[in-house]
Structures are given as structure tokens and as C-alpha cells.
Amino acid sequence: MSYKKFNFGTDNSWAGKASDYPDEIIKNHPVGESVNIGSIGSIADLFHDRFEKVAELLSMQAGFKSTGVIKDLMDERKRSGFKNKTYRTVGIVESSRRTKSGGKMVTLEDNSGVMDVFIRKEDPSVDSLMNDDVIGIVGRFDKNNPNMFWVDEVQYVDVLFSHQNKGGKDFDPISIAFISDVHMGSKYFLEETWDKMMKWLNTNELAKNIKYLVLSGDTVDGAGVYPGQDNNLSITNVYEQYQFCANKLDELPNHITPIILPGNHDAVRPAEPQPVLEHSIQQKFNSAIHVGNPCRVNLNGIDMLSYHGKGMDDIIPRIEEVSYEDSVIGMKHMLKKRHLAPIWGERNALSPEEHDQMVIRTPPDIFVTGHTHSHATEWYNGVPLVVSSTMQGQTDFMQMLGYSSMKGFLTLYNIQNREFKVISFHANDDVARKVA
């Protein structure tokens, strides 16, 4: 085992005993509860709700003041005689394409109309703009082409540099542990590594500080997730996979409460937001707290946003600086755009719910994802970020892609001193040694 250290303080926050403090868990409203039938009207309602929510955030949190809706701008343009006047409006990206100059031609729409805008290649947003993003724009109409709008500035909601997450001396000296993509039932489940972690959790002094263990999706490998999956399973029945998982979690010491949310391999619908596991599965676990995906849970005063991370499959192909190895950069874009899965109808399925539950209304005190089988701990404008490590070895599919997972890391976050510690339980590959 090895430790990766971050900002170790001189206080005794890591010496606190989690057993001395009660569980204080407040779950927000349930996610993944369908009220619509998936009609075209339902999809339109979802995007209308997204637009209204993010537009409000642009105004209230980012201080973006619109001069009017798109129709107002078009009408004002005609009245002004194409004077060099600056306009500000909010819209959702209907489509975009790269031009020969390196900029982007974007079709922007709101509830009142549609207009074409051009974003120059020098704009910081040009490489990260995606379809279905809700953005604020500042710019001018072209004098020679009244249908063209030149953008001087693109604004997302983002997280203010002055943002300060909760935590500090007034909070309990306890920590939260994070792991994801355990994939129990897979032939590639690292049982020996898992058992080593369990032994450490039961015997190490530092482990006595841990109050919660958050498992951010794909706790089991599932069944029928992809063609030929049976060939990669050690347990073919999904209910038996969950029973095996429950038995493994029973080995946790009493002072650690597991919190389980589903992922794309779990026995729930693939479309996000995903509901909690069905009651018959929950009953197999003796002490776990079950939540949907994504989830906002308050843990002893700390507002945690945990998301499995399937939306990363649509972000990675479109933003060059984001990769499966560096998915933490994608998390920063999610916070910037204030949405976990902006793109509709591609690799990540979204359910047309009445309200868009993937919008990030407020910055969390800690933001956690999984799915990419990577690992990272970083900060973004006052928000601590965790890409939870996996407990699955390299599968045939990963080998084909040439991707080696960063496995066997347990991440700890202390809510009193806002510090990370990372413990490696799988130090027999190059990637693990490099990180640890």
C-alpha cells in the first residue's frame, strides 16, 4: 500500500473517530422517477425546463443581464438600422460547425426564435462548445449581413473564483471514502485487492476516521449490458451478483456506512437520471444507503454531488483536452456548463422527464464521478473533485482500446480540514505506481 498526500495539516482532523459522531444523512428529492411517456412534447418540456433553469443561473449566479430574447434582438436590429450596438442574450445551442478560419458557426435558439452567431477561434469557449449547451452571448450584428451576429464573449454559469465550499473547524473531524466501478460478478473483479482494502478498513488507525464509503455506480457488472458479456462473468445471475456484493460490504466495520448509487451496468434503466435499485435488491444489503444517479446527499453538513459519469462518453469525443485518462477535466466542464450530460440522443441516454434533473443548480461541497476507470483528485474554483478509482482489471474491450485503468485507489476526503488522502491497494502495474 502507498499514500498520495495532499495538503496535510498540523491539526488532528485525521485522528477523529467516526464512531464518535452520528450518521447525518439528508437525501434530496428522488431522481429517476418518470412522470412522462417519452413523447416529442416531453422532450420539448425537458429542454424548456433546462433552458429556464440555466438562464436563471446565468442571471442570478453569474450576473449575466440579457438585453432581450432573440426575437427582441432581431426586432431591435431592424429598428436601429444596423448601428454598431452591443446586445446580450441567452440561448441554447441547436447546432454548430467549425469553419475554415477555426471559429464556429452556431445556430442559437430560445423560446422566441433562432439566429446564427459566429464565435471567433480566439474565444476560450470555441473548443468546448457543444450542442445543447445553454450560453449567454455578447456581440453585434454584421452591418453587411443582418442575419449574422458576431460574438465578442461567451458566458457560462461556471463556478465563481470566490466560491468557498463548506467544511472547516465547525465540522466533524471525519472523512468520506470514495470508490467506484467495482464490477462484482466480473471475471476481472479484483477480489484480492478488494479484500486487502477491507482488511485495511478494519485494522488501520486512519480508517477509524472514515464515516461513509461512497460507491459511485457499477457496483456489479450486470448482465446483458453488451454483446458477449456472459463470457466475461464469474457470476452470470445479476441478483447473485448483488448478493455477493452485499456479503462483501458486510465486512465493513460498523462505523462506516456505504452509500450506493447505480451506473450503466446496474439493474436499473440505462437512461439518466437513474432511479434507486429496486427494493428486492436493496433488501440484500444490511446497512447501505441507496440513492439514485445522480444524487445530492448532505453528509454531516457537506453537500455531495455524486454522478456515475456516463455523460462523459459524449463529452470526451467533443472536447479535445478531455479523455478517459483525464476525465477530471470533463468534470470541470460539467460545473462550468452546470449540466452533467448536455447532449441529447447520442451515446448517453437521457430520459425526457418533466424537470431536467441533470442541471447543477448550485456548486456542491464535493463533486464525485466514476465510470472512466481512471482516478484523480483536484480542485476547481473551490470545489473538490474526485474521479473514483475502479476495482476492475483490464477487460478485453479495454485492452483493444489500449487503455489501462487506474485501479485499486481509495480516496479519502476529510470534511473538517478539506484535505485528501489516497491509498493504493493495487501497486503491481505501472499506472498505479505512477499515481501513487
Query: What is the C-alpha R_g of the chain?
Result: 23
Could you tell me the three cell numbers for 329? 477535466
Residue 182: inside a domain:
yes
Residues 6+ apart with CB under 8 A from 234: 185, 186, 187, 189
Residue 213: inside a domain:
yes
Same domain for 217 and 123: no
Residue 359 to residues 57, 111, 205, 341, 362: CA-CA distances in angstroms? 10, 19, 39, 8, 9
- Structure confidence at residue 148 (pLDDT): 81
Give the residue from 111, 129, 155 where a domain finishes. Answer: 155
Q: Grid cell 475554415 — which residue?
A: 100
- Structure confidence at residue 4 (pLDDT): 44
Residue 51: inside a domain:
no
* Strand ranges of the sheet holding 409-414, from the earlier edge strand across to the other edge: 2-5, 419-424, 409-414, 175-179, 210-216, 257-261, 289-290
Q: How many domains does the chain have?
A: 2
Residue 48: inside a domain:
no
pLDDT in tens, 247-263: 999 999 999 999 999 99
Among 399, 343, 397, 340, which residue's Cα sits nearest to residue 370? 340
Give the residue from 155, 182, 198 where a domain finishes. Answer: 155
Note down pLDDT in tens along the chain; length 436 residues: 444 444 444 468 999 999 999 999 998 877 877 666 666 678 888 999 999 999 999 999 999 999 999 999 888 877 766 567 899 999 999 999 999 999 999 999 999 999 999 999 999 999 999 999 999 999 998 877 777 899 999 999 999 888 888 999 999 999 999 999 999 999 999 999 999 999 999 999 999 999 999 999 999 999 988 888 888 899 999 999 999 999 999 999 999 999 999 999 999 999 999 999 999 999 999 999 999 999 999 999 999 999 999 999 999 999 999 999 999 999 999 999 999 998 998 999 999 988 899 999 999 999 999 999 999 999 999 999 999 999 999 877 777 767 778 999 999 999 999 999 999 998 644 443 333 3
Same domain for 29 and 79: no
Same domain for 239 and 385: yes
Same domain for 84 and 169: no
Helix, strand, coil percent values for the chain (each to nearest 5): 25, 25, 50
Strands (E), 187-338: 210-216, 257-261, 289-290, 295-299, 302-307
Residue 55: inside a domain:
no
Strand partners, 90: 136
Q: Is 362 helix (H, G, I), strand (E, B) or coil?
A: coil
Residue 44: inside a domain:
no
Same domain for 279 and 206: yes
- Structure confidence at residue 37 (pLDDT): 61
Contact 290, 282 (CB under 8 A): yes
Same domain for 116 and 75: yes
The type of residue at 1 is M
Residue 285 belongs to domain spanning? 2-36+162-435
- Structure confidence at residue 434 (pLDDT): 36
- Structure confidence at residue 435 (pLDDT): 38
- Structure confidence at residue 414 (pLDDT): 97
Burial of 213 per CB tally in 10 Å (0-12, 13-18, 19+): buried
Same domain for 176 and 125: no
Same domain for 168 and 140: no
Same domain for 31 and 167: yes
- Structure confidence at residue 201 (pLDDT): 98
Same domain for 140 and 69: yes
Residue 54: inside a domain:
no
Residue 156, Cβ neighbours under 10 Å: how many? 23
* Strand ranges of the sheet holding 366-369, from the earlier edge strand across to the other edge: 25-27, 295-299, 302-307, 366-369, 383-387, 376-380
CATH of the domain at 78: 2.40.50.140
Could you tell me the three cell numbers for 280? 428486492
CATH of the domain at 404: 3.60.21.50
Give the residue from 155, 188, 216 where a domain finishes. Answer: 155
Same domain for 275 and 178: yes
Residue 353: inside a domain:
yes
- Name the pairing type of β-strands 134-141 and 87-98: antiparallel
Residue 244 to residues 119, 182, 276, 414: CA-CA distances in angstroms? 53, 12, 19, 30
Q: Is 109 helix (H, G, I), strand (E, B) or coil?
A: strand
pLDDT in tens, 370-401: 999 999 999 999 999 999 999 999 877 777 76
In this prediction the pTM is: 0.93
- Structure confidence at residue 404 (pLDDT): 78
Same domain for 175 and 150: no
Q: What percent of the chain has pLDDT over 90?
A: 76
Q: What percent of the chain has pLDDT over 70?
A: 92
